[in-house]
Chain A
Amino acid sequence: SAVISQKPSRDICQRGTSLTIQCQVDSQVTMMFWYRQQPGQSLTLIATANQGSEATYESGFVIDKFPISRPNLTFSTLTVSNMSPEDSSIYLCSVEVGTSRGPQHFGDGTRLSIL
């Protein structure tokens, strides 16, 4: 297992601003993922972040809107840029523990509201 801490846990932001979400893991992990979960909905993958390489984005998500950093094996950030009300959502970090396609564990998410 892994303990995943996300900061902030929630925020209310103004339209047009940017927010950086941090994800800290208590152990070294190779693969980290960022998901978005709209209220009452399922999880949608934004991007995969591996240390030492550029993040890989899913269709519908672009680096200019959601830049990701992965400076080491225990930390990653996701920035939501130039926010609009449509970005109001829960943003979740997850990590894969152990071998490839092993268990993935999630943080408690960042609840973001855009006014």
Chain B
Amino acid sequence: QQQVKQSPQSLIVQKGGISIINCAYENTAFDYFPWYQQFPGKGPALLIAIRPDVSEKKEGRFTISFNKSAKQFSLHIMDSQPGDSATYFCAATGGSQGNLIFGKGTKLSVKP
């Protein structure tokens, strides 16, 4: 019940395309869902986050869609750029958890 399942494991997108990464969770007590972006040799950087009282949050080219009934959330990267090539992690926390539960990550490659 503590898992966060992330897919796909890897993703190749053409420049200008839309990158979509999906995550699913089981624990209904989770109430905070961040996405992190990690470049090689760096720590994860908080990209965007959502709480379950809204179904969508947009910041620039990055959008989180949240489906509370399905216990799923996804990251959409519009107009993907080669500089977006990185590993993306979804995460969740809430209830008795203080720490984040991470998905396994998606390695995104944006081809020029």
Contact = CB atoms under 8 A, between A and B. Distances in A.
B98 A96 contact: yes
Contacts, number: 48
Contacts of A100: 98
Interface stretch (B37-45, B55-63, B75-83): B37-45
Give chain A's interface residue range (CB within 8 Å of chain B).
20 to 34
B89 A42 contact: yes
A108 B42 contact: yes
Contacts of A92: 43-44
A105 B99 contact: no
B41 A108 contact: yes
Contact of B46 (A41, A43, A104): A104
A105 B104 CA distance: 18
Interface string B19-47: 00000000000011010100001111110
B45 A101 contact: no
B74 interface: no
Interface residues of B, number: 21
A42 B103 contact: yes
A43 B44 contact: yes
A41 B105 CA distance: 7
Given A43-B89, A45-B100, A106-B43, 15 more contacts: A4-B43, A31-B98, A33-B99, A42-B105, A43-B44, A48-B98, A92-B44, A94-B100, A101-B32, A101-B93, A101-B98, A104-B34, A104-B46, A105-B46, A108-B43
Interface of B: 31-32, 34, 36, 41-46, 49, 89, 93-94, 98-100, 102-105
Interface of A: 4, 31, 33, 41-43, 45, 48, 92, 94, 96, 100-109
26 contacts: A31-B98, A33-B99, A42-B89, A42-B103, A43-B44, A45-B99, A45-B100, A48-B98, A48-B99, A94-B100, A101-B32, A101-B98, A102-B32, A103-B46, A103-B49, A104-B34, A104-B46, A104-B100, A105-B46, A106-B44, A106-B45, A108-B41, A108-B42, A108-B43, A109-B42, A109-B43
